[in-house]
Structure 1
Amino acid sequence: MADKSLVMTFLNEEGTKANITLPGVKDNVSQQEVSVVMDTIIAGNIFSSTGGDLITKHSAQVTEKNVTDLVVR
């Protein structure tokens, strides 16, 4: 089973990177959708980091983790 997450990276007021990870991202998420979400997060000023408010977009990526469940008794 593969688990996909969206990792959005922002720069904060100190100029350091801060990540927000959203698990369970859909397979066909577009760059435009991600960009709009990131703009909304910045405009709404709803998250803060140890380096201050998030002020600009840096990057985004979809990561995939493969998980194999094992049966143990």
Structure 2
Amino acid sequence: MKKSFVTTSGDKVSLSVTGVKGDIPQVEVSSLMNIIIARNIFLTKGETLASKYGAESTQR
């Protein structure tokens, strides 16, 4: 699953997670993304994630 966010400076960043079940409801994906943003779990180039951009199921 690929989740995309926008940083506080406006840059788009993506996080990919493997081994995710394919039947996760979109509302749960959105909730997870909200938690990631609210708790400042990830930093990229010293920037925090400010908003959601999108999410998609991917297969590798």
Class of the TM-score when normalised by the shorter of the 2 chains: over 0.9
CA distance in 1, matches of 2:2, 2:42: 15
Correspondent of 1:16 among 11, 25, 29: 11
- TM-score (structure 2 length as normaliser): 0.92
- TM-score (structure 1 length as normaliser): 0.77
Q: How does 1:13-52 map to 2 (within 5 A)?
A: 13-50=8-45, 52=47
Q: CA RMSD in A?
A: 1.0
Q: What percent of counterpart residues are identical?
A: 37
Correspondent of 1:62 among 38, 57, 60: 57
Which structure is larger by alpha-carbon Rg, 1 or 2?
1
Unaligned runs of 5+ in 2: none
Task: State the shift of 1:12 in Å.
Answer: 0.1
Query: Is the contact between residue 7 and residue 61 of structure 1 (CA under 8 Å) also seen in structure 2?
Result: yes
User: Higher strand share goes to which structure?
Assistant: 1
